[in-house]
Structure 1
């Protein structure tokens, strides 16, 4: 049954309207809620033809009884229908994480509750349970984002009359693990151990540039200018569902050019030469535009492998727990210790705000505090003013 898209429509046919954005929204009435509000199913498509096809499919599903009764739809049913639609608004890694968190935490507890029966107290008790299990603020914030987003769209579709997730505040949770910055001596020990591994150079580049995990694994020779000494950060390789999947950069400011010091440039030039020899030994061609950090056969790295290798190297070096992301903290703190302007450091990291760089990534090393310890005599001594005198 193909819905009419122009003129007067019969009851149950649904409607299609053009949005200011140029897309087309289709809407099908499914019935009325106990409070008298109409219950609908809707969607947005780029063309009128596509909207008509989607509406026709929804009508078919309704007539076959495949659409759940909105009066008794559960939280799990709604989330399972909402998450695929939310994919276009989310980064691939974020969407995959939302699916995982819904399966692991939300469905077992809130899944059987009907949307109309869900109360703020249900959500608060759910959050409290996560805290008691020891989950961090990060997990709680992500779970809340899922519930708020899903119930917001349910509110727009008039399935519920309020967003109870927005009414339920998060309780105090286990603090997140703070990033660690290795001081200069620790960094030397770590890199010395890293050089005993085939992929040691990737860690040297990580410390020198502060690139993110996905940016390192997604980096290709096409975006390394060995003449100008610049890395163009243009691609990302996040892990989605356990598999490396090329995706967009984390933020708009992540697209940037990172200048290389001569020493780092020489490291990459030597690495490229070794890579060519490595492929030749295996009888494989070298791709001049392929990935910079790869397996011996030239295939791209799984970022998760790099994370595990970081932990292995740190243990072998006697440094305890060190994450790959900690090398980004290390790069930031060492640069700022050497008085590189914060604006430059923040831009090279791909941050949009200098304040975020300083608050999240700047670590004060113990010797910095000692170097700036001032005795009372010096502290109370007159200081020259702008005109050379004393105040």
Structure 2
């Protein structure tokens, strides 16, 4: 009795042109219908051999075993310096470096990649919320804000995700972490009397025009500080926002806006 083919091995049948055809399902389309590849041969045995070779070529490769002994600190440094930093703006680099070198590495850097667990990371986030602030604790307390902790998670999760892609670990241990609420801070709007007092004080301090421009247009401080006289059309009152000023490692740097939407025209209100 001929040996029965097991499910998933493919199928073989005799065509009307007297050739043997073998078919193997390689996937399914958007409608759920099977997508197949086929082989042709003059004899059934030759067709079976070709079908077996087709299956082997299409079979997913066995993933490499994770490489033991790699410390998280070493991987984070390699990931940031090699993959992320070349494509980041200077002020964004500072944010990454604070998260990596001031928070993640001091707490988790000596853990091995293949031994780092979701519980380790969850405990780390809890400690950040409780006592993770390094400066200005007298003003803001000992713990970091929800937004800052979520930013640290974003960086760590991305680095571990790349480690999965490089077959250094099987899964991302940051996937299952519970994060602090993303609820934004409630915006505080100044009352008219408060705005008036603020402008009176600004006139005495010599920054009246700057503060008035900020209150009347909503421009960011860095955008205002980067303005030039050529950006203003005196006839129409159109103000071109083309650049911004920000501080990088203690020095002021002028750069274009982060996005296309940041490069815009603002109409100044008419003089009253």
TM-aligned CA deviation for residue 240 of structure 1: 2.2
User: For 1:257, what is the secondary structure of its paired residue?
Assistant: strand
User: For 2:164, what is the secondary structure of its paired residue?
Assistant: helix
* Separation of aligned partners in 2, 1:248 and 1:154: 33
Pair 167,216 (structure 1): closer, same or farther in 2 beyond 3 Å:
same
TM-aligned CA deviation for residue 135 of structure 1: 1.4
Which residue of structure 1 aligns with residue 129 of structure 2?
Answer: 131
Name the structure where strand makes up a greater proportion of residues.
2
Aligned pair count reads 199
* Separation of aligned partners in 1, 2:86 and 2:116: 27
* Separation of aligned partners in 1, 2:121 and 2:229: 49
Instruction: List gaps (5 residues or longer) in structure 2.
Output: 1-61, 132-142
TM-score between both structures, scaled by the size of structure 1: 0.47
TM-aligned CA deviation for residue 143 of structure 1: 0.3
Q: Any conservation in 2 of the 1:91–1:248 contact (CA below 8 Å)?
A: no
TM-aligned CA deviation for residue 253 of structure 1: 1.5
Q: Any conservation in 2 of the 1:136–1:176 contact (CA below 8 Å)?
A: no
Which residue of structure 1 aligns with residue 103 of structure 2?
Answer: 105
TM-score between both structures, scaled by the size of structure 2: 0.67
Deviation string 1:68-94 (CA, Å, 9 cap, x unpaired) is: xx5322111111122223124434322
Q: Any conservation in 2 of the 1:131–1:172 contact (CA below 8 Å)?
A: no
* Separation of aligned partners in 1, 2:102 and 2:77: 13
* Separation of aligned partners in 2, 1:215 and 1:172: 30
Instruction: List gaps (5 residues or longer) in structure 1.
Output: 1-34, 40-69, 265-391
TM-aligned CA deviation for residue 222 of structure 1: 2.5
- Bigger radius of gyration: 2
Which residue of structure 2 aligns with residue 255 of structure 1?
Answer: 263
> Of 108, 112, 115, which residue of structure 1 is paired with 2:113?
115
Matches within 5 A, 1:27-106: 37=64, 71-84=68-81, 85-106=83-104
Matches within 5 A, 1:169-180: 169-171=178-180, 177-180=185-188
* Runs of 4+ with >3 A deviation: 88-91, 175-179
What's the C-alpha RMSD, in Å, of the aligned pairs? 2.3
Deviation string 1:104-123 (CA, Å, 9 cap, x unpaired) is: 21111111111111111111
User: For 1:167, what is the secondary structure of its paired residue?
Assistant: coil
* Separation of aligned partners in 1, 2:122 and 2:216: 45
* Separation of aligned partners in 2, 1:94 and 1:102: 12
